[in-house]
Amino acid sequence: MDINETIKQQLDSNPILLYMKGSPQAPQCGFSARTVQSLMACGERFAFVNILDNQELREGLKVYSNWPTFPQLYINGELVGGCDIVNEMYESGELEKLVKDASASANTTSDQKA
Protein backbone atom coordinates (compact mmCIF):
# COMPACT_ATOMS: atom_id res chain seq x y z
CA MET A 1 0.00 0.00 0.00
CA ASP A 2 1.47 3.38 -0.89
CA ILE A 3 1.53 6.24 1.60
CA ASN A 4 -1.45 8.07 0.07
CA GLU A 5 -3.54 4.90 0.39
CA THR A 6 -2.43 4.57 4.01
CA ILE A 7 -3.43 8.16 4.76
CA LYS A 8 -6.79 7.73 2.98
CA GLN A 9 -7.48 4.53 4.94
CA GLN A 10 -6.64 6.25 8.24
CA LEU A 11 -8.91 9.19 7.41
CA ASP A 12 -11.76 6.94 6.26
CA SER A 13 -11.52 4.87 9.47
CA ASN A 14 -11.46 7.79 11.93
CA PRO A 15 -13.96 10.66 11.86
CA ILE A 16 -11.70 12.74 14.13
CA LEU A 17 -8.00 12.19 13.52
CA LEU A 18 -5.05 14.18 14.77
CA TYR A 19 -1.64 13.73 13.20
CA MET A 20 0.68 14.95 15.93
CA LYS A 21 4.13 14.71 17.45
CA GLY A 22 3.87 12.23 20.31
CA SER A 23 0.63 11.07 21.88
CA PRO A 24 -2.19 12.87 23.70
CA GLN A 25 -0.75 11.60 26.99
CA ALA A 26 2.80 12.64 26.07
CA PRO A 27 2.89 15.30 23.34
CA GLN A 28 6.37 15.91 21.93
CA CYS A 29 5.88 19.58 21.06
CA GLY A 30 3.98 22.54 22.45
CA PHE A 31 1.81 22.91 19.35
CA SER A 32 0.64 19.29 19.61
CA ALA A 33 0.03 19.75 23.35
CA ARG A 34 -2.14 22.84 22.81
CA THR A 35 -4.11 21.17 20.02
CA VAL A 36 -4.75 18.09 22.19
CA GLN A 37 -5.98 20.32 25.04
CA SER A 38 -8.52 21.99 22.76
CA LEU A 39 -9.68 18.66 21.34
CA MET A 40 -9.98 17.00 24.74
CA ALA A 41 -11.97 19.95 26.05
CA CYS A 42 -14.61 19.15 23.41
CA GLY A 43 -15.36 15.93 25.31
CA GLU A 44 -15.31 13.43 22.43
CA ARG A 45 -12.97 10.57 21.60
CA PHE A 46 -10.50 11.11 18.79
CA ALA A 47 -7.84 9.06 17.07
CA PHE A 48 -4.24 10.14 16.72
CA VAL A 49 -1.15 9.13 14.82
CA ASN A 50 2.34 9.91 16.11
CA ILE A 51 4.05 11.19 12.99
CA LEU A 52 7.46 10.91 14.67
CA ASP A 53 7.16 7.11 14.36
CA ASN A 54 6.99 7.15 10.56
CA GLN A 55 9.16 9.42 8.38
CA GLU A 56 7.39 8.32 5.17
CA LEU A 57 3.99 9.20 6.65
CA ARG A 58 5.27 12.54 7.95
CA GLU A 59 6.58 13.54 4.51
CA GLY A 60 3.59 12.05 2.68
CA LEU A 61 1.11 14.02 4.78
CA LYS A 62 2.80 17.30 3.90
CA VAL A 63 2.18 16.56 0.22
CA TYR A 64 -1.29 15.03 0.73
CA SER A 65 -2.58 17.99 2.74
CA ASN A 66 -0.45 20.70 1.16
CA TRP A 67 0.18 21.74 4.77
CA PRO A 68 3.83 21.84 5.86
CA THR A 69 3.54 21.63 9.65
CA PHE A 70 2.17 19.45 12.43
CA PRO A 71 -0.16 18.88 14.15
CA GLN A 72 -2.82 18.43 11.47
CA LEU A 73 -6.42 17.86 12.53
CA TYR A 74 -8.82 16.10 10.17
CA ILE A 75 -12.55 15.86 10.76
CA ASN A 76 -14.59 13.64 8.43
CA GLY A 77 -11.58 13.36 6.14
CA GLU A 78 -11.15 17.12 5.72
CA LEU A 79 -8.13 19.05 6.96
CA VAL A 80 -9.29 21.51 9.61
CA GLY A 81 -5.85 22.96 10.20
CA GLY A 82 -3.00 23.18 12.64
CA CYS A 83 -2.58 24.43 16.16
CA ASP A 84 -3.49 28.10 15.69
CA ILE A 85 -6.60 27.37 13.61
CA VAL A 86 -7.78 24.62 15.97
CA ASN A 87 -7.31 26.84 19.02
CA GLU A 88 -9.10 29.77 17.39
CA MET A 89 -11.98 27.46 16.48
CA TYR A 90 -12.08 26.15 20.05
CA GLU A 91 -12.21 29.68 21.48
CA SER A 92 -15.10 30.58 19.17
CA GLY A 93 -17.04 27.38 19.96
CA GLU A 94 -16.82 26.21 16.35
CA LEU A 95 -14.47 23.29 17.10
CA GLU A 96 -16.73 21.74 19.73
CA LYS A 97 -19.71 21.80 17.37
CA LEU A 98 -17.67 20.26 14.53
CA VAL A 99 -16.24 17.55 16.82
CA LYS A 100 -19.60 16.70 18.40
CA ASP A 101 -21.30 16.55 14.99
CA ALA A 102 -18.58 14.25 13.61
CA SER A 103 -18.76 12.02 16.66
CA ALA A 104 -22.56 11.85 16.57
CA SER A 105 -22.66 10.97 12.87
CA ALA A 106 -19.95 8.32 13.38
CA ASN A 107 -21.97 6.78 16.22
CA THR A 108 -25.10 6.79 14.07
CA THR A 109 -23.22 5.11 11.23
CA SER A 110 -21.75 2.45 13.53
CA ASP A 111 -25.17 1.87 15.08
CA GLN A 112 -26.60 1.25 11.60
CA LYS A 113 -23.86 -1.28 10.82
CA ALA A 114 -24.55 -3.33 13.95
Q: Binding site residues for glutathione, as ranges?
A: 21, 58, 70, 83-84
At 12-52, the pLDDT tens digits run: 999 999 999 999 999 999 999 999 999 999 999 999 999 99
pLDDT of 7 reads: 97
Contact by Cβ (8 Å): 85, 57:
no
Can you name the residues that pair with 48 across neighbouring β-strands? Answer: 18
Go through the domains of the chain in sequence order and give each one's CATH number.
3-82 (3.40.30.10)
Q: Which candidate, 90, 92, 72, places its Cα nearest to that of 29? A: 72
Does residue 109 surpass a pLDDT of 60?
no
Q: Binding site residues for [2Fe-2S] cluster, as ranges?
A: 29
Would the pTM count as exceeding 0.85?
Answer: yes
pLDDT of 107 reads: 78
Q: Binding site residues, as ranges?
A: 21, 29, 58, 70, 83-84
